[in-house]
Amino acid sequence: GGLDLLISPSRHEGMGRVNLEAMAAGLPVIGTAATGIAEVVRADETGFLVPPGDAGALAARIVQLARDPGLRRRMGQAGRACVAEHHEAAACHDAVLREIRALVRA
By the 8 A CB rule, do 14 and 1 touch? no
pTM of the model: 0.79
Average pLDDT, the chain: 89
pLDDT tens readout for residues 10-31: 887 776 789 999 999 999 999 9
DSSP conformation letters of 7-76: EE--SS-SS-HHHHHHHHTT--EEEETTSTHHHHS-BTTTEEEE-TT-HHHHHHHHHHHHH-HHHHHHHH
Backbone angles phi, psi at 47, to 5 degrees: 170, -160
Using the predicted structure, report yes or no on whether residue 75 has a pLDDT greater than 70: yes
Domain range summary for the chain, segments of one domain joined by +: 6-105
pLDDT tens readout for residues 26-56: 999 999 998 889 989 999 999 999 999 999 9
By the 8 A CB rule, do 79 and 23 touch? yes
Selection from 22, 30, 67, 35 nearest residue 50 by Cα: 30
Q: What CATH number has the domain spanning 6-105?
A: 3.40.50.2000
